[in-house]
Amino acid sequence: MRKPGGDQEMVDILSLVLHHDEQAVLCAVEMVLEAGVPTKTHVLNLLHRLVDGTPTDQPDVTPMIALALSEEPEANVSRYDGLRRGGTRHAS
């Protein structure tokens, strides 16, 4: 009820027990509340993982060192100022 359409999402979540085991739905809802992301999409995702037997606890992802920026990119605004003056032809 805190966000627009929240009441409809709650009805959709409650109606999942018509198609799935009640305990599985309750387990998915509890997991979503523990994660702090109470959305219908997250409940559906976890419910399908529980039903399929897919692991629901995923390891934390840490980026490889090779993917880290060694030097922050800087904007070259003078290049764009030159384009705006009309000194250089460019496709448009």
Tell me the per-residue pLDDT of 55-89, one tens digit each, with 9 for 90 and over.
777 666 676 777 777 888 888 777 777 777 765 56
CA distance 48 to 40: 12
Q: What is the pLDDT of residues 16-69, one digit of tens each?
A: 989 989 999 999 999 988 888 888 898 999 999 988 887 777 666 676 777 777
**DSSP symbols for the chain:** --STTHHHHHHHHHGGGGTS-HHHHHHHHHHHHHHT---HHHHHHHHHHHHHT--S-PPPP---GGGS-SS-----HHHHHHHHHT-S----
Whose tokens are 């018509």? That residue is 18
* pLDDT grade for 90, boundaries at 50, 70 and 90: low
pTM: 0.56
